[in-house]
Structure 1
Amino acid sequence: MKFKKWNISKPEERDVALLRSAGYPYLLSTVLAARGVTTPEGAAEYLERDRSLTISPMLMRDMDKAVSRIQRAISDGETIAVFGDYDVDGITSTVLLLDYLKSCGAHCLRYIPRRIEDGYGLSKDAIKGLHNQGATLMITVDCGITGNDEVDFANSLGLDVVVTDHHECKEELPRAVAVVDPHRPDCHYPFKHLAGCGVALKLVLALGGENREDALFARYCTLAAIGTIADVMRMEGENRTIVSCGLEALPHTDFVGIHALLKEAGLLGKPITSIQIGFVLSPRINAAGRMGAADLAADLLEADDPAQAELLAKRLCDLNRERQAVEQAICADAIGQIEKLRSEERSALVLSSEAWHQGVVGIVASRLSEKYSCPSFMIYLKDGTGKGSCRSYGGFNLFAALDACSDLLEGFGGHELAAGFTIQESNIDAFRQRMNRYVRSAMDGELPVSSLDIDAAITSPGEVTLDQVESLSHLEPYGAGNSRPVFALLGATVDSIQSVGQGRHLKLRLSKGTSRFDAIFFSVTEEECGITAGSRVDAAFYLQANTFRGTTTLQLQLIDIRPSLTPSRHEAADLELLHRLLDGGPVSSQETARLRASREQYAACWVALERQLRQGKLEEERLPYLRRLAVRTGGNESFLRTALALTVFQERGLISLHVQGDAMTLCLNPARGKVDLNACPYLVRLRDAANRNRGDQP
């Protein structure tokens, strides 16, 4: 089980029925109702997609100053430098703005930092180099908002700076000609969640003027969509418009590099959704920056020669494969370090090494945050200085946390969920201790557990068809705030399970009632899964159409699977009988026989319990634990008799047993000498009933 907690929404049946009566399909109605959309009018509004950006870019603070200075530079023939960032958002922002400026006849320079040599954000060496090449105006995209010293340095050289960014601001803004960032406190732009490429797009629309907004949006929405998806921005408001229009325009984009990358990734000619952008296209663009070759990705997106674009796309995909291998090695090393940490050092994982690749530590931090349910800080060390990348978990605000530890840092930047920092190696231990204390304090001592949000459990598996799955596309594009729907199948049976993909993945066949489903569980082995054929399970999954050799079938893409927390019909009947016995209700002679266990069965149950609880308290889901213990106890009616045995042990004071919802806490009590199980009132009642039944027989 990957997630310790499943949060399963339970939409009201009447809400689902109302939406279905208005013509919305079963699955779509279920997801809408689970997300609080309960009327046909609300559904129509929720699913509506704007075709254009309706908020004027001039509402953004300093946009007028930025436009004025850039237009003057274009008309006067100045050299304009665009200073970007090495991630997908920064690369698409850079290419978007450069393409527009060049279309206006501007002479431009491009600078994208090398992640390893230059690090994140502005640098004085880079600024000096651009100035030496004749730049008189520098425009930052997706960076610069915390580069106060660097902007001052540019000013001292006579190089004007326009900052465009979307990251969190420090208290003091850079002293630039214009600072365009919707997060600055005095900016009243109503939509705060634009990516860096979204801000760059708004700048281009402002430069072009109202009359050209539609044409410019049509040209650049695809680039902006890729950057917005990759930066995991909230998929609402203007971002939803940018991404939905960008995906629609993707097959017809004028950027030949995008077509070449789609072809190399095996997506050319196939329907492209936000899922393919996020999990196939973006990692390939991002790999260039991670491996210190961000200019390669920018060259690809700027390419106008198809042959050159194909060559660059191939090199980009090769880099991505190299990145994957490096990532796996770093992850294994990091997990080894985590196993050596003390418990008080696991609220925030602060890890470091000289052997790691600086460009890949960020993505490993993401993996670790998900695996261990806490913020992760990965630090690459060189010559006594550490370059760190960190990722959040459970909504923890990284920017505020780094600010609270700023006296231990050389510098930092980013936003709530992802950030970077520089630290001296000598400060890492102190940083680890303070960050762990900060996390525990911020969470009020309640550290987050890994949890999975599920839209709904499927109550009518027979209605889940390919057409129903297709109807979910109306919810696209997916992203933060509008996640891909997750469903659960509770109390299913594993008909078969087998390893595929050279043992890296699992293929399963699940059934519930008369319905059968094929399922795939990526990057999970049989040993990790812990499920066998015949098991009763709960499955959480995405629904998808899978095309193989020209045939399209329905498939469950598993996210998690666990021993079922819902009782089968027989288990439910057994538990009802047990509760009736405990409450003093009527128990028939046949039921009495089912409940009565032999001395050997109680002994076997006790031996198994004692062996498990010797190390201390046990916290488990109750039903799966009862099933496993029953298998060890053996015999007919083992589930029922095992449940009764635990109750008897509890009543006799041998164990402490606490049940809350699906969870159970179990521990051994201190020994108090010999205990007579036969004196338990529940067993006395069963003996009396058995004696009466024998007396009633002729």
Structure 2
Amino acid sequence: MRWTLKEKPSEDKINHLAQALNVENFVATLLIQRGIETFDDAKNFFRPSLEHLHDPYLMKDMDKAVSRIEKAIANQENILVFGDYDVDGTTAVSLVSSYLKSYYPNVATYIPDRYAEGYGVSFMGIDFADDNGFSLIIALDCGIKSIDHVAYAKERNIDFIICDHHRPGDTLPDAVAVLDPKREDCFYPYDELCGCGVGFKLIQALGTNRNETIHDLFPYLDLVATAIAADIVPMTGENRVLAYYGLQVINSNPRPGIKALVHQVKKKSLDITDVVFIIAPRINAAGRIKHGNHAVELLTEFNFEQAQQFASEIEKYNADRKDLDKQITKEAFQQIEKNQEQNRFSTVVFQEDWHKGVIGIVASRLIETYYRPTLVFTKSGDKYAASARSVKGFDVYNALDACAEHLEQFGGHMYAAGMTLKEENYPTFKEAFEKQVEKTILPEMLTPEIEIDAEINFTDITPKLIRILKQFEPFGPLNMTPVFMTKNIKDTGYAKAMGADEDHLKLFVKQNNSEGISAIGFGLGKKLDLVTHQKSFQAAYCISENEWNGTISTQLMLKDIQ
């Protein structure tokens, strides 16, 4: 791993902020690295407020969207709320449909089948709307590139409102309204919302017409926080405010579906990491293994006993997902080793019987080992379908765009995308993608990087520092958990490798005459030799607290040691 110490701001800036906030200089440094340079910036950062959310009508087409929904309600039209099968899509559908249903009955939901229909707006979904008398479709977390689908719906007298956050193509669909802060002609002040976040802005706008305040919409924020965490959007601006209050809802009064999921894992209080690793995979498992409808049923159920029933079914899907993920990852490793492809600039693998629902997870697993932009293909009908994942700094969406002539369709973000192609185009695409990556990737991007916020001594780790760091939460992209580096550390003789395969490292460390601190390094078991026999080493780590038998102690979460 490459260790990179973040650039230190100027001493003047650091001193000025440290004095204004009465904090240590290195805490001021952490804040400035996150774009927080003044007392007011810090106040907004440490005290997120719902009042800081922007007026939803600043979003292009919001007035058109609201007016079309109000017209549908006035005319007693049937409204279909349509969304993708992942966490962002299913939470967005649950959010908008449950809000509309709170005062208007003619609302139904539609999640496309991952296998029969694939990602995004589908012709099958539009046919369903046509057959069942729906004249308005609200598409969430998808639709920004669905030009043909929207035209097809229009021929059937079905209007579309699109709420998306993916990058638009050159032409927008001919919908009644296209809400997407990434539209070039949209000057909404924050363009990093997730799909559910755009859905929330829609209900916020609808609410203003009904004299509702942001506080009336507070109960919906558990869904928004879950989507923000799962979709790995920047934890800045509105996302941070929505996630901050959404976590409060999750921990105090969540909807029965989320309460039932948390109940399964018996955890008292959840932070954003728990949402990413506990709630999100379970919601995702429904669409991966069975059908995304199961997630919407769970998230819109108001009877807790019924929600528990749905949650236990989803728990089974999640167990199946884990088994599949493990098996396919193993087969992918074998394929790469057998074909001696570990030294390429990209990883592209295919097997026709791999389960389409877990190939994205497998792509992430392969990156953990080979650290290359990665595509995992499987057969989907008569086409090949893939999930793409990328390494830090490399835009996989742009790489796919450069190879678009070989693809049927593709979409996504810088770090995650999906695509389909014809079987006969797979070999040429694989080579074209490899050449594109080789041409555009920087050599340093092929080695995982640990960005270190500051070098500190163990004596700097005080209860006050831990209290301040807690107020940096919720963490996420552009506001990651601070990583510190400390030199001249020694283990006190308790170092051991842990776990069934001795993959993990457990230490009790000191620096000079400091008090000892326990430390754990997941995946660092192989580095045991570096720390035994009183050898001096340096560590990159995050500071956390460990609770054991009612006692809370400081613990270092090791990222790497040298």
Q: Which amino acid aligns with 1:261?
A: L
Q: Which residue of 1 aligns with 2:140?
A: 141
Q: Is the 8 A contact 1:265 1:281 kept in 2?
A: no
Q: Is the 8 A contact 2:394 2:445 kept in 1?
A: no
Structure 1 alignment gaps of length 5 or more = 563-698
Output aligned runs, 1:389-408, within 5 Å.
389-408=387-406
Q: Which residue of 2 aligns with 1:347?
A: 345
Q: Which residue of 2 aligns with 1:299?
A: 297
Q: Distance in 1 between matches of 2:342 and 2:552?
A: 50
Q: Which residue of 2 aligns with 1:475?
A: 472
Output aligned runs, 1:34-73, within 5 Å.
35=34, 37=36, 43-73=42-72
1:259 aligns with 2:259: yes
Q: Distance in 1 between matches of 2:316 and 2:342?
A: 41
1:218 aligns with 2:234: no
Q: 1:386 offset after TM fit, Å?
A: 1.1
> What is the SS of the residue equivalent to 1:381?
strand
Q: 1:245 offset after TM fit, Å?
A: 1.7
Structure 1 stretch 300-309 or stretch 16-25: which is displaced more?
Answer: 16-25
Q: Is the 8 A contact 2:95 2:220 kept in 1?
A: yes
Q: Which residue of 1 aligns with 2:459?
A: 462
Q: Which residue of 2 aligns with 1:614?
A: none
Q: Which residue of 1 aligns with 2:490?
A: 493
Q: Which residue of 2 aligns with 1:202?
A: 201
Q: 1:33 offset after TM fit, Å?
A: 5.2
Q: Distance in 1 between matches of 2:111 and 2:505?
A: 41
Q: Residue 212 and residue 420 in structure 1: after superposition, are their counterparts in 2 closer, same or farther (change >3 A)?
A: same
Q: Is the 8 A contact 2:519 2:556 kept in 1?
A: yes
Q: 1:38 offset after TM fit, Å?
A: 6.0
Q: Distance in 2 between matches of 1:186 and 1:14?
A: 39
Q: 1:291 offset after TM fit, Å?
A: 1.9
- CA offset digits 1:251-276 (Å, max 9, x no partner): 34351112122221222x32x32222
Q: Is the 8 A contact 1:540 1:559 kept in 2?
A: yes
Q: 1:390 offset after TM fit, Å?
A: 0.3
> What is the SS of the residue equivalent to 2:169?
coil
Q: Which residue of 1 aligns with 2:237?
A: 237
Q: Distance in 1 between matches of 2:113 and 2:459?
A: 53
Q: Residue 128 and residue 530 in structure 1: after superposition, are their counterparts in 2 closer, same or farther (change >3 A)?
A: farther
Q: 1:456 offset after TM fit, Å?
A: 1.2
Q: Is the 8 A contact 2:222 2:255 kept in 1?
A: no
Q: Which residue of 2 aligns with 1:88?
A: 87
Q: Distance in 2 between matches of 1:204 and 1:35?
A: 30
Output aligned runs, 1:80-159, within 5 Å.
80-159=79-158
Q: Which residue of 2 aligns with 1:560?
A: 560
Q: 1:25 offset after TM fit, Å?
A: 5.4
Q: Residue 53 and residue 154 in structure 1: after superposition, are their counterparts in 2 closer, same or farther (change >3 A)?
A: farther
Q: Is the 8 A contact 1:411 1:421 kept in 2?
A: yes
> What is the SS of the residue equivalent to 1:544?
strand
Q: Is the 8 A contact 1:465 1:554 kept in 2?
A: no
- CA offset digits 1:387-438 (Å, max 9, x no partner): 1000122222222222221111111111222110001222222112111111
Q: Is the 8 A contact 1:345 1:436 kept in 2?
A: no
Q: Which residue of 2 aligns with 1:372?
A: 370
Q: Residue 326 and residue 129 in structure 1: after superposition, are their counterparts in 2 closer, same or farther (change >3 A)?
A: same
- CA offset digits 1:419-468 (Å, max 9, x no partner): 10001222222112111111222236765421111111223x12313442
Q: Is the 8 A contact 1:163 1:178 kept in 2?
A: yes
Q: Which amino acid aligns with 1:492?
A: I
> What is the SS of the residue equivalent to 1:144?
coil
Q: Residue 337 and residue 466 in structure 1: after superposition, are their counterparts in 2 closer, same or farther (change >3 A)?
A: farther
Q: 1:40 offset after TM fit, Å?
A: 5.2
Output aligned runs, 1:278-297, within 5 Å.
278-297=276-295
Q: Residue 383 and residue 162 in structure 1: after superposition, are their counterparts in 2 closer, same or farther (change >3 A)?
A: closer
Q: Which amino acid aligns with 1:380?
A: T
Aligned-pair Cα RMSD in Å: 2.5
Q: 1:110 offset after TM fit, Å?
A: 1.0
Q: Residue 282 and residue 64 in structure 1: after superposition, are their counterparts in 2 closer, same or farther (change >3 A)?
A: same
Q: Which amino acid aligns with 1:414?
A: G
Q: Distance in 2 between matches of 1:317 and 1:351?
A: 29
Q: Is the 8 A contact 1:345 1:432 kept in 2?
A: no
What's the TM-score, normalizing by structure 1? 0.75
Q: Distance in 1 between matches of 2:432 and 2:452?
A: 34
Q: Which amino acid aligns with 1:126?
A: G
Q: Is the 8 A contact 2:221 2:242 kept in 1?
A: yes
Q: Distance in 2 between matches of 1:349 and 1:68?
A: 48
Output aligned runs, 1:404-443, within 5 Å.
404-443=402-441
Q: Distance in 2 between matches of 1:384 and 1:287?
A: 25
Q: 1:234 offset after TM fit, Å?
A: 1.2
- CA offset digits 1:26-53 (Å, max 9, x no partner): 7644523555656656544543423235
- CA offset digits 1:298-348 (Å, max 9, x no partner): 111111111111222223233223222222222222222333456697212
Q: Distance in 2 between matches of 1:343 and 1:474?
A: 45
Q: Is the 8 A contact 1:370 1:393 kept in 2?
A: no
Q: Which residue of 2 aligns with 1:74?
A: 73
Q: Which residue of 1 aligns with 2:186?
A: 187
Q: Is the 8 A contact 1:373 1:394 kept in 2?
A: no
Q: Residue 204 and residue 6 in structure 1: after superposition, are their counterparts in 2 closer, same or farther (change >3 A)?
A: same
Q: Which amino acid aligns with 1:288?
A: A
Q: 1:104 offset after TM fit, Å?
A: 1.8
> What is the SS of the residue equivalent to 2:182?
coil
Q: 1:232 offset after TM fit, Å?
A: 0.9
Q: Which residue of 1 aligns with 2:383?
A: 385
Q: Is the 8 A contact 1:8 1:457 kept in 2?
A: no
> What is the SS of the residue equivalent to 2:223?
helix
Q: Distance in 2 between matches of 1:219 and 1:497?
A: 47
Q: 1:360 offset after TM fit, Å?
A: 0.8
> What is the SS of the residue equivalent to 2:357?
coil
Structure 1 stretch 78-87 or stretch 345-354: which is displaced more?
Answer: 345-354
> What is the SS of the residue equivalent to 1:339?
helix
Q: Residue 529 and residue 441 in structure 1: after superposition, are their counterparts in 2 closer, same or farther (change >3 A)?
A: farther
Q: Is the 8 A contact 1:545 1:552 kept in 2?
A: yes
Q: Is the 8 A contact 2:498 2:525 kept in 1?
A: no
Q: Is the 8 A contact 1:505 1:521 kept in 2?
A: yes
Q: Distance in 2 between matches of 1:160 and 1:77?
A: 15
Q: Residue 252 and residue 67 in structure 1: after superposition, are their counterparts in 2 closer, same or farther (change >3 A)?
A: same
Q: Distance in 2 between matches of 1:344 and 1:462?
A: 43
- CA offset digits 1:524-564 (Å, max 9, x no partner): 263476645234322222211110111111111122223xx
Q: Residue 198 and residue 303 in structure 1: after superposition, are their counterparts in 2 closer, same or farther (change >3 A)?
A: same
Aligned residues: 556
Structure 1 stretch 38-47 or stretch 97-106: which is displaced more?
Answer: 38-47
Q: Is the 8 A contact 1:89 1:230 kept in 2?
A: yes
Q: Distance in 1 between matches of 2:111 and 2:423?
A: 27
Q: Is the 8 A contact 1:543 1:555 kept in 2?
A: yes
Q: Is the 8 A contact 2:290 2:317 kept in 1?
A: no
Q: Which amino acid aligns with 1:480?
A: P
What's the TM-score, normalizing by structure 2? 0.92
Q: Distance in 2 between matches of 1:71 and 1:511?
A: 65
Q: Which amino acid aligns with 2:434?
A: N
- CA offset digits 1:641-698 (Å, max 9, x no partner): xxxxxxxxxxxxxxxxxxxxxxxxxxxxxxxxxxxxxxxxxxxxxxxxxxxxxxxxxx
Q: Residue 466 and residue 284 in structure 1: after superposition, are their counterparts in 2 closer, same or farther (change >3 A)?
A: farther
Q: Residue 8 and residue 176 in structure 1: after superposition, are their counterparts in 2 closer, same or farther (change >3 A)?
A: closer
